[in-house]
Amino acid sequence: MVTADDSSTKTHASTNTYRNTEMSSSNLGRRLVACLLNVSEAHKKDLVETVAKAAVYDLHGERREMTTVLNIFNDHDYNRSVITIVASIDTIKDAVLSACEKACGLIDMRAHTGVHPCMGSVDLVPIYPLGDDVGIDDCTKAARAVAEGLTERVQGTSVFLFGWADCPLQRGLAQRRKDMGWFKKTPDMLAIRPDVGPQPQKRYGLTGVGAGPYVMNCNVTIDTQDMALGRSIAAAIRESTPGGLPGVQVLALPHEGSVEIACNVESVQGSPPDRVAEPWPTFSIGGQPYCHIPASAITARVSELAERQGVVTKATALVGFTATECRFLAEGALLNDIAEFWKDQRRIHM
């Protein structure tokens, strides 16, 4: 877990694990994409690591080419883990499908408990391009192949599509979750009409598979148990609210005796707005500029709103990396043939 203030240190510290070699997408020849795989388990660390290893090793234990796992983020209260898989666009489907198949075999939704809403053993499979050499259309094809492959490999699994993978409507994740009843305390599985696969079963639940520009995850904890206050702050910073923050989709959830403002920070096409307090992370896809609001700006806004009610902010956690950090670290991991980068990450105190 990394605080917002540590995010720049994180990237620079990582260079200590690599040889002094100039790295670029051109000399590596890698068309990299990321999958932030969300699975509904965090209490069993070995189980989650087994899922991660399935992405980077085949059934014979052989290293899967052009693939690394950068990060595993576990949240015990949520009982949810996010596994950051990076691979070339040519290998991402096999890596992700292997991890999904392993997760479905090990995680039974009939026994799942946690405060974070979820619907599937594999709850979310978003695929993002990490540079100009891969288009969102490429990720869309990969995502749809994963959706079809999962329902074929694991009989009884079901999928809904979101983002660019939801052709031709391209409905966002928040909208598709609402369509599927994800926000309900007890979703009605019999009422769900998945896009791929059969009617959802309680054993595996329902999996969301999608593609689009990179989404960063940022969680801000405020020192209160007042969920009404948390929900009011979440509503105020949500992108759809007048005066809300660009690209921010947000929930307020109870977390470790406090309230967490859990944000999905979607990338916004175009350049950062003028006169921002600090630089916004930027990147390019297909020659088009994208950016997203930094975690520190989200923290500052949450702190401002909380302090009006006499509540302080306790911490900010980044669940993984920015798009630029993700690509940089993946290039280094692949150049140095590091499959289980999350272990190196721990060693260098990230």
Pairing mode, strands 258-266 and 268-269: unpaired
Question: How confident is the model at residue 320, as a pLDDT?
Answer: 82
The answer on pLDDT for 177 being more than 90 is yes
Instruction: List the domain boundaries for the chain.
Output: 19-213+322-350, 215-320
Instruction: Give tens-digit pLDDT for 190-205.
Output: 889 999 999 999 999 9
The answer on pLDDT for 241 being more than 50 is yes
Average pLDDT value for residue range 17-34: 58
Question: How confident is the model at residue 162, as a pLDDT?
Answer: 98
Residues of the chain above pLDDT 90, percent = 79
Instruction: Give tens-digit pLDDT for 46-70.
Output: 999 999 999 999 999 999 999 999 9
CA-CA distance, 140 to 164, in Å (whole number)?
6
215-320 placed in CATH 3.30.70.670: yes
Question: How confident is the model at residue 14, as a pLDDT?
Answer: 39
Q: Which residues contact 25 (CB under 8 A, 6 or more apart)?
A: 31, 32, 131, 132, 133, 327, 331
Instruction: Give tens-digit pLDDT for 93-108.
Output: 999 999 999 999 999 9
Instruction: Give tens-digit pLDDT for 302-341.
Output: 999 999 999 999 999 888 899 999 999 999 999 999 999 9
The answer on pLDDT for 18 being more than 80 is no
Residue 89 and residue 133 in contact, taking contact as beta carbons nearer than 8 Å? no
CATH fold for the domain made of 19-213+322-350: Formiminotransferase-cyclodeaminase; Chain B, domain 1 (3.30.990)
Question: How confident is the model at residue 1, as a pLDDT?
Answer: 35
- Binning pLDDT at 50, 70 and 90, where does residue 12 land? very low
- pTM value surpassing 0.85: yes
Tell me the CA end-to-end span of the chain in Å, nearest whole number. Answer: 7
The answer on pLDDT for 2 being more than 50 is no
